[in-house]
Structure 1
């Protein structure tokens, strides 16, 4: 399946760039990965750029109002999308103000990484690691040791 990762900006801190690079490389063993970095001066401009970048792919927004997944639940969700979906999913992390209401309303799903507020750079790494972990679960590989 193709995973399109859309972010407002790119990781700025060295640890985040290294983490992004590592987990993107790992994720590419299981999925076709496309990365798009968008910009905007306002929340609305950022959200419009995300919507354009996603195109027709189902859009999953990282948003604190969304559903939380366990690692196994995320794996099952991705497997179901691969079988019955479009063959592509777009995941988007917004800027500091989050996503505009119009983008949120048109999204296929809102996904919350948890109740904590994470710095943008760290949220990018957590997104990739969660997708990688889900892929290893689907493949029956031993990376995931939790319940």
Structure 2
């Protein structure tokens, strides 16, 4: 599956940028992945750009009200989507204003990384790490311990 991680704003915090780059680099060894940055702006304009950037794929929105997955469950979700022929998935992390209700309704799924509201740079690091972890589970690598 080809993953598109879409964020509103690029990581400005050095440690977050480095963490995201590290996990995206690891993930690229086992999956197709790209990081797309949408510039901050008025929410309706940003959401239009997010919809356009994710139009050719399964649209997964990250929001604290979404469905929580454990790492093993995420690995199995990926495995099932691959088996059913899903070619592209876009994971969308919003900006400081989050996502509107109407935008969330346009998602194929809504996920949460935590019941906490996470700053978008932290969310990107956590998301990239969890995708890498899921692929390590599917490949029976020793990264994940449970």
Q: TM-score range by the shorter chain?
A: over 0.9
Q: Deviations over 1:50-79 (max 9, x none)?
A: 110011201000011110000000000111
Count of matched residue positions in the alignment of Structure 1 and Structure 2: 146
Once the two structures are overlaid, the 10-residue window that deviates more, 37-46 or 20-29, is: 37-46
SS of equivalent residue, structure 1 residue 20: helix
Q: TM-score, normalised by structure 2?
A: 0.95
Shift of 1:100: 2.1
Report whether the alignment pairs 1:46 with 2:46: yes
Gaps of 5+ in 2: none
1:1-147 pair list within 5 angstroms:
1-146=1-146
Shift of 1:40: 4.0
**Does the CA contact (< 8 Å) of 1:48 and 1:103 recur in 2?**
no
Q: Deviations over 1:81-110 (max 9, x none)?
A: 111143111101001111122221110100
Q: Deviations over 1:109-141 (max 9, x none)?
A: 000111112222111100100111001001111
Shift of 1:39: 1.8
Gaps of 5+ in 1: none
SS of equivalent residue, structure 2 residue 45: helix
The alignment's C-alpha RMSD in Å is 1.0
